[in-house]
Amino acid sequence: MKSTLRTRIATAALLLAPVAALVAAQPAAAQPWGDRAWGWGGGGSSFDRRAPQIFDITPGDNTALDGTGVIRIGARFRGVDPAGVTLRVNGLDRTALSELSPNGILFSSPLPPGRYNVDLTVRNRSGVEARGVWSFTVIAPGGAFGERPDPNRNVPGGFNQP
């Protein structure tokens, strides 16, 4: 019985050895759906092949907000290296003043009435970039919701005031 068991084990080892050698010889790049393709393992630039995704922007594009209180500007994202995130509001970099996580960014501030343009740029570890651009309007307190101020008019407390 011992010799039969030894024979079976030896036969199985002989049959499996070539298969194990073939699997070990395959490069990681030949396995496009493995962990390295999604950035879950390994290192370097061999992962993060997919473009980052930006979603759940706030405030929504072309919305009008009541200017009484703090306005929150941000978005959620997926597949992003936090070191590759830049949030600009009306051309000013607000990244350092924002709450940043691997899943999103949020800038909170009271804003004077006017139109605001947001530009969010994100990159993954491989340098693949995605960009979100949207606008919104802050309405003066007491103004009717939906009323859009003329950006060329001097609004009390607005950017056009000296």
Ordered alpha helix ranges (H), the chain: 2-25, 35-38
Residues of the chain with pLDDT under 70: 1-3, 5-6, 9-48, 143-162
pLDDT for position 69: 86
For tokens 């924002």, what's the residue? 98
pLDDT for position 92: 97
pLDDT for position 33: 33
Name the CATH code of domain 53-139 (choices 3.40.640.10, 3.90.650.10, 2.60.40.1220, 2.40.70.10). 2.60.40.1220
CA distance 122 to 105: 10
